[in-house]
Structure 1
């Protein structure tokens, strides 16, 4: 246990607890007005993760590691509950028990995958079990490339169809990230032979270029939505939400690049 464990734990919780809180809001907004029980549950999860977020902000890197380990367990329990809630909602949608609701099945599945990722990260931190760098590079990119591909699909479907240029851009990003994801899955299946420094370095460089481009597109879309300059049913917070996740992915790529090559990414 060390300050590094505390810093890493707090970084993960501060980022992902806000994401979980916002997921609760987005799901609530997609329920029908008579889905009162689901709305109440979503509101409760919003409060739970709002409290977790505030608690995480109150801790510092000087906090006793044992305190943070217990906090990680507490957060892990809450994540398990929201993950189960999301999977239950997905089941209701796929069984046609929520006709007329506005939560895409893929969006609900997407949010549950992020909860599962967050839960696993806390388990790894508390166990002191971190993946070797080559495995981490591939696995993190497989996860985040799929997240980015999903985002492009959601944007394309939530923009008004008359926003033809932006819809086309979103579709192109969806296609591009699907291709990057397939390449990442291929690299993964070729392990361990594929885990050479040149291949992994190229892998990170290629993904960085595409993620930066998508990040910039999201930023522009978010600004246009805030200024009411485009037609869509995208909540302004959702636009900012997906932008922050792209920023997070870029930070992870840069961290991997520095660890792989021993020099900061350009």
Structure 2
């Protein structure tokens, strides 16, 4: 019988390790030619997460739980290390010690994802498979902020002449800001598990908006890959944000399954 903690651990590492590796790559693209030390550090993390992916390929859902737990600890250390690197770069940026082409919000954004990844590994090693109903709102606040940020990045990286797409990105930014504030308000109200209809409603509403954003990202990715729109968006970044929207939809399904078992 498959151990659910093992299966979930490998799934989280498979998804987020690739994301972490790509973050390091995107940061390296944004540095200037003379920021060689920061570029070298980014390459270190690219190499580190590639080694993690290689180790991951040798594990399966039937692997010994103790081996996966040890691997979780190893990857947790890597996630914490890249989080510290991202926060260092953000601090240097905000103090105007360095100037480059990575938005401060983008650096903060990717550091939040590293913190989330590290925390998930810690939870899994503690035996926490999925969030409790009372924690689902907090999880949605995290992902809604991620989606809102994506819309803002897309809007700012598109060429200004792509007016229709820029307007669409701004509309998504506004939509997800509203969903985020709504979720934050609900989180402050601290609903208990007996208010599950409210949580169901939130998940249903979020799913509709995430699907729309996911489809927008998919179209943008295809247009970028075909060189049919003008932008500063790397094709890998377009695919990166698409995969994160897909991930949020998967997690919404996981949350709903959790509520059904309450």
Normalising by structure 2, we get a TM-score of 0.96
2:165 maps to which residue? 166
Contact 1:14 1:57 in 2 (8 A): no
Q: Distance in 1 between matches of 2:129 and 2:66?
A: 18
Shift of 1:130: 5.3
Q: Specify the alignment match of 1:118 in structure 2.
A: 117
Measured against aligned partners, the alpha-carbon deviations of 1:223-250 in whole angstroms (never above 9, x if no partner) come to 0000000000000000000000000000
Structure 1 residue 3, shift from structure 2 partner = 1.2
- Aligned pairs (5 A) from 1:147-162: 147-162=146-161
- Uncovered stretches (5+) of structure 1, i.e. residues with no partner: none
Q: TM-score, length-normalised on structure 1?
A: 0.95
Task: Look up the match of 2:83.
Answer: 83
Aligned to 1:17: 17
Higher relative contact order (CA 8 A, sep 6+): 2
Q: Measure, in 2, the Cα distance between the counterparts of 1:87 and 1:132.
A: 26
> How far did residue 217 of structure 1 move?
0.2
Cα shift readout 1:136-194 (whole Å, capped 9, x = no counterpart): 32121110000000000000000000000000000010000000000000111111358
* SS of structure 2 residue aligned to 1:156: helix
CA distance in 1, matches of 2:206, 2:42: 34
SS at match of 1:60: coil
Q: Does the CA contact (< 8 Å) of 1:187 and 1:194 recur in 2? A: no
Hey, what does 2:144 align to over in structure 1?
A: 145
Question: Partners of 1:104 and 1:172 in 2: how far apart?
Answer: 20
Q: Secondary structure at the match of 2:33?
A: coil
Q: How far apart, CA to CA, are the structure 2 residues paired with 1:131 and 1:216?
A: 27
Aligned to 1:74: 74
